[in-house]
Structure 1
């Protein structure tokens, strides 16, 4: 039996569109010692593949980090099984805020050196010395106080479409850049109350430990991240301090938390918060693009990519015509 996907993109899309059931998207993580990541990887792949689960899962000696699409009728079985896996009992599950069932096309389970590519050397600091975990309601109340510093621990392409109203949002593209800039920027405010947040909470585990290692005395983190916060705030009927969209790392590329559109199309500058990947494959750059520009540039991020994409299309079309003519002759 093959323990990996063997279908192409078109087959995967056809398989998903043919389904007669609903799916739900869930994410979870845990830092826990895993003796044999490869063995666990194979066991989980077999079980989840049998249940027609899709998603992206990273397993390392330090733990597990997963974002998954689970058939709705298997959701209870999925959780029940996870409870039997050593180290996974009582796993906090973050269910999607907005879910169209199209978050993933296939199941990918990989063994990695780390469950988050943070670029940090774990041996130089105590990764277990994390900040105080705040419930969504605790974070909501504290974030509105004047004497706290709220820090977005995500990349700039995430924070540009949505963030907490008073948050510091560093202009970075990697987690390693983020933690270094935050420590440097707040060097003279080490006694202040620091509130960290990210998508689901996993990046804040390492970020808070890194900050404590550098002498910050009052580091706190949003437990469960923006996903958990949104659920709890809606349940309580309170106005969200997080505005806009929460960027997610699956095919949806975002969940709307509030109706605020705080970003702009990268091409025309009109209000927009829809992320897309450039249609021209050699580029595939992640950009914010409005419907008008998407039609005008056929999903390409720039004039240069659009012209190259058009040339490739014309070349492909010409090739098909030639083959057809030769066949008829």
Structure 2
């Protein structure tokens, strides 16, 4: 009988990952397309990716696929060919290779079937996600950043924005993309006659956001093709100035990829310059926050004194 899910403990998997010296490539990709039987496709993909030692997080829904994965570098081309063969509409799929491949990113393969590949909270059946804004590439982005009639909008969560963003980009302060969409419509009403440029990490959120803005009456809507990852890669390869400053937050073990050396955020506990995200070590809290090394030592990796004392109590009891 085929095993279609992981059966090894997370701790064992993390240990194996940290011991491994095999070069791996971290890559993300997504595709909005009709998948008639997501569960069947999920099971086929899990079997194939397991054989290739792929690790990471993949969501499959009737509207498409969204993946952030790590694959042995020697098997990267095999993995891409497998995807192209799985579905004809995957051919030529944009592969956003990570800016930083020096650190391990994932330790387990999880493929889940969901209603949406990105949780958007949209229930209006008249909304057409395929009617998206104009795609922009790095050269156009740099040019438009100089135009006073263009408004840049960051469609990532507040904790992503605080460690890195484009100069003068508007923040839509929220914990979730679901909450951001209606907030963006409200915030941008006063800019309705301007050109609106939306961006995110790899393109999946800003692409849907551009469609949502068009649906709500905005006319001149653009979005960054391939997101911050593709923008940075292209700018570096072609010697363009980097207009994104700071760190690009990523949802894996690395928690961030430096784009520039600028540190624009501060430790949430002492206020010194810092862009190191961590999760509170008290498991009942597990808050994501920015903490410098000094405060990490002082608070034992916790977000405050209360969590530190609770953690100390648990450790003494064990």
Q: Using structure 1 for the length normalisation, give the TM-score.
A: 0.94
Match of 1:178 in 2: 180
Among candidates 98, 108, 111, match of residue 109 of structure 1: 111
Secondary structure of 2:241's aligned partner: coil
Contact 2:166–2:245 (CA under 8 A) maintained in structure 1: yes
The superposition leaves residues 270-304 of structure 1 with CA deviations (integer Å, 9 ceiling, x where unpaired) of 10000001000000010000000111111101111
Among candidates 243, 246, 267, match of residue 245 of structure 2: 243
Shift of 1:110: 0.5
Q: Using structure 2 for the length normalisation, give the TM-score.
A: 0.97
Partners in 1 of 2:172 and 2:15 — Cα distance? 40
Among candidates 130, 140, 143, match of residue 142 of structure 2: 140
Partners in 2 of 1:30 and 1:143 — Cα distance? 27
Match of 2:85 in 1: 84
Contact 1:128–1:209 (CA under 8 A) maintained in structure 2: yes
Query: Which moved further from structure 2: 259-268 or 119-128?
Result: 119-128
Partners in 2 of 1:114 and 1:126 — Cα distance? 14
Match of 1:307 in 2: 309
Secondary structure of 1:113's aligned partner: coil
Q: Which runs of 5+ in 2 are unaligned?
A: none
Contact 1:143–1:195 (CA under 8 A) maintained in structure 2: no
Among candidates 193, 213, 216, match of residue 214 of structure 1: 216
Distance 1:122 1:45, change over 3 A: farther
Partners in 1 of 2:124 and 2:237 — Cα distance? 38
Partners in 2 of 1:64 and 1:84 — Cα distance? 15
CA RMSD of aligned residues (A): 1.1
Partners in 2 of 1:51 and 1:296 — Cα distance? 42
Partners in 2 of 1:202 and 1:260 — Cα distance? 26
Partners in 1 of 2:70 and 2:205 — Cα distance? 21
Shift of 1:122: 4.7
Match of 1:25 in 2: 26
* Residue 231 in structure 1 maps to residue 230 in structure 2: no
Partners in 1 of 2:99 and 2:83 — Cα distance? 22
Partners in 2 of 1:28 and 1:144 — Cα distance? 30
Query: Which moved further from structure 2: 77-86 or 137-146?
Result: 137-146
Shift of 1:58: 0.2
Partners in 1 of 2:141 and 2:226 — Cα distance? 11
Match of 1:264 in 2: 266
The superposition leaves residues 37-73 of structure 1 with CA deviations (integer Å, 9 ceiling, x where unpaired) of 1111011110110111100000001000000000011
Over alpha carbons, which structure has the higher Rg? 1
Q: Which runs of 5+ in 1 are unaligned?
A: 317-329
